[in-house]
Structure 1
Amino acid sequence: MEKQTYYVSVQAKTITEHRGDAAYELEIEATPAEVHRLYELFESETETDLNNWIRMHSPKIIEEELVSHAFVDQHLTEVYRLLYKLGTSKTKSHIQSMNVLQGLQNGYTDDF
């Protein structure tokens, strides 16, 4: 399948085909299947956010909080790995400057 340009906002969890449709932080080149995977990651993150909000009102917060933070960190890393893989050179450079992915600052990009 042929790739096309998409505009992504990690904060808003949006992916658009047209630059002016919504605010965005990153530009990627992706197939429809790759975009679908990114949507799945965003949906999962939204579910995690909701579950975290619900758990905040539970007395068992401390133990669960540590597990939740680890999951959120792992999940966000997966989002940025995919964005790095699909990103334009400008997007890749931006993600490298954010220092959110281990190994990028040392030039290890084979796993991404």
Structure 2
Amino acid sequence: MEKKTYYVNIGSQEISQIPYGANTEYTIEATDEEVFLLREKFNEIHEDDFGTYIRAHIPYVQYHDDRDNDKYDNDLQEALQMIYKLANQETKQAMEESNIGQEKNNETI
């Protein structure tokens, strides 16, 4: 399957083939299937984010004891790892310099 260049912004959960505005945070080379999987991960993050919003309105649930926040953090780390694996050389180097997305001792940073 042919790989195409995509521009990804984590904050807006945007994946585009056209660079514009702030969507060039990360540049990846991916097949349609890989982009679909990344989009699915972004959808999970969006759902997790809603769960953390609901939790924020329940005062007796502590942040450090909250499964919704843990799920959000885990899915965000998985998305960054996916981006790192698909990143072009320049993006991969920038991520390495920032310690983002690589696996370290079976843990994603």
TM bucket normalised to smaller: 0.7 to 0.9
Moved more, 92-101 or 65-74: 65-74
8 Å Cα contact 2:48/2:69 also seen in 1: no
**What is the CA–CA distance in structure 2 between the aligned matches of 1:99 and 1:68, rounded to whole Å?**
24
Q: Report deviation, 1:102.
A: 4.0
Q: Given the superposition, is the C-alpha separation of residues 11 and 63 from structure 1 closer, same or farther in structure 2, using an over 3 Å criterion?
A: closer
**What is the CA–CA distance in structure 2 between the aligned matches of 1:98 and 1:64, rounded to whole Å?**
25
> Partner amino acid for 1:94?
A
**What is the CA–CA distance in structure 2 between the aligned matches of 1:63 and 1:84, rounded to whole Å?**
28
Q: Report deviation, 1:18.
A: 1.2
Q: Report deviation, 1:39.
A: 0.5
Normalized per residue, the structure richer in strand is: 2
Q: TM-score, normalised by structure 2?
A: 0.83
- 1:12-51 maps to which residues of 2 (within 5 A)? 12-20=12-20, 23-51=23-51
CA-based RMSD? 2.4
8 Å Cα contact 1:80/1:95 also seen in 2: no
Q: Which runs of 5+ in 1 are unaligned?
A: none
| Identity fraction in percent | 33
Q: Report deviation, 1:58.
A: 1.4
**What is the CA–CA distance in structure 1 between the aligned matches of 2:19 and 2:57, rounded to whole Å?**
39
> Partner amino acid for 2:37?
R
Q: Tell me which residue corresponds to 1:57.
A: 57
Aligned positions, number? 106
> Partner amino acid for 2:74?
Q
- 1:65-84 maps to which residues of 2 (within 5 A)? 65-84=65-84
Q: Report deviation, 1:55.
A: 1.3
- 1:88-99 maps to which residues of 2 (within 5 A)? 88-99=88-99
Cα deviation digits, residues 81-107 of structure 1 (max 9, x gap): 11011100011111112213342xx9x
Q: TM-score, normalised by structure 1?
A: 0.81
Q: Which runs of 5+ in 2 are unaligned?
A: none
